[in-house]
Amino acid sequence: MLTLRRINENPEEIIRQLSKKHFDGREVISQIIDLDNTRRKTQTHLDAILGEINTISKSIGQLMKEGNKEEAAIAREKVRVLKETSGELGETLKDAEQKIESLLVTIPNLPHDSVPEGRTAEDNPVERSGGEIPSLGDNALPHWELAKKYDLIDFELGVKITGAGFPVYKGRGARLQRALINFFLDNARDAGFTEVQPPYLVNSDSGFGTGQLPDKEGQMYHVGLDDLYLIPTAEVPVTNIYRDVILEEKELPVKNTAYSACFRREAGSYGKDVRGLNRLHQFDKVEIVCIDKPENSYERLDEMVSYVQTLVEKLELPWRILRLCGGDISFTSALTFDFEVYSTAQKRWLEVSSVSNFESYQANRLKCRYRNADRKTELCHTLNGSALALPRIMAALLENNQTAEGIRIPAPLVPYCGFDLID
C-alpha cells in the first residue's frame, strides 16, 4: 500500500497518477490527510500529557519525603485526571490509525509512467512477438477434443470428483504435465532462481501482505474452520517468506522459484472462453519471485520478462508480449507485461504469464525492508511472474503440434516426458 509520507508530500500528484488506473482518489486521499492531521495533533497532545504525568509522578515521592502530604494528594489527583485524558487521547489516536489503515488498503498502487492509457485489454499495446503460427487446416481439433481422443485429460471425471474446473490428467497427459513442471523449474534454477516448496494454504496476514486480501477475497477459497486460504498463486507464500524481515543489502537481489497447485474461484466466469483448460479452478504453475533495491527493480523486471520469453521460445510456441494499460493492470502492480501464446485450433491468443513490478506497494504491507550501506532501513521492491502457468501452455502445445500421425512433443520436453509423439 502507499505510504502516508508519499501521500502527504504531493496528494495532487497521487490523485493524478491514480486516474490512469481509472480510480478517483480525491475523496479518499482527502480523508486520509484529515485523519493524519488528527493523528499528528493527538499524538503531540498525548506526548505532552504523558510527559506531564511523568514529571508530576516524580514530584510525588519528593513531596512525601518533605511531609507535604496535602500537595502530594493534589498531585496524585492531577495525575489521575491526566491519565483519564491520556486514555481518551490514546483511543482517539488508535481510532484514527485504524481508519487510515482501512482507507489506505482501498487505494491501488500507482502506475509506472510507462503504463499506457486505456480501459480494457483491447487497449494493451503489443511490445514484441515471435514464433510462427502453424497452418493446421480446417480439420484441426481444439485441445479438449484432442485430450479426449488421446485419453490425456478427463474433464467429466473431474466434474464427478469435484466439479467443473478440476480436470483429471491421465497417462501421457499426466506425464506431459509433470514434464512441463520439471522443465520450468530446471530452467529457473539454471537462470539463478532458488527453488522453494511452499505451503498451499496461507493465513490472512499472508493474503494481506501480497494484496490478495481484502481486494480479491471473493476469488479465493476460504477454509472457514481454520481461517486459512488456498493459494491463488505461489507468489503469496513465497513473497511472505520475507514478511517482517530486514534483509542485508548484500543479500539482494533475492530470486526464488516455486511450483504449486493454484486455486481460484473464478466467480462469474462462463462461456466459450472457459472451455477445456482455458480457465480452471485448480491448475499448476511455476512462479518466479524477486526482491531487490528500488533502483534496481526495473532492471530486474526486464530480466524476468526476457527469461519468460526464453521459455516460450524453447517450447516453439507463437508468442507476444503486451504492456498492460491503466485500466487492465492489477490493483497492486505498478507495471505488468503479459505473455500470450497463440492457440491455433481456437484461433485466439491465450495469456500464460504476467510479469509485474509492485515497487514498494507489497513491501509496505509486508514490512519487507533492507538495510542500506548507511545502516538505515528502506522498503524493498517486490516482483513476480508466471514462468509458466501450465493449462494454456498445455492447450497450445496440444493444438499447435497436432499432425496426421499424432501430437508432436517439442524437443526440449522429450527428455522430461520420455516420448516424442502422442499417438
Residue 82 near residue 53, CB atoms below 8 Å: yes
Binding-site annotation, residues for ATP? 264-266, 351-354
Among 235, 319, 239, 286, smallest CA distance to 391 is for 286
Q: Rounded CA gap, 149 and 143, in Å? A: 10
First to last CA, the chain: 52
Grid cell listed for 256: 526464488
Residue 62 near residue 5, CB atoms below 8 Å: no
Q: Rounded CA gap, 242 and 239, in Å? A: 6
Binding-site annotation, residues for L-serine? 233, 264, 287, 384
Q: Rounded CA gap, 390 and 331, in Å? A: 24
Q: Rounded CA gap, 386 and 287, in Å? A: 5
Binding-site annotation, residues? 233, 264-266, 287, 351-354, 384
Nearest 5 degrees, angle CA 244-CA 249-CA 254?
70
Among 332, 327, 233, smallest CA distance to 286 is for 233
User: How many CA atoms, within 13 angstroms, populate the side-chain half-sphere of residue 59?
Assistant: 16
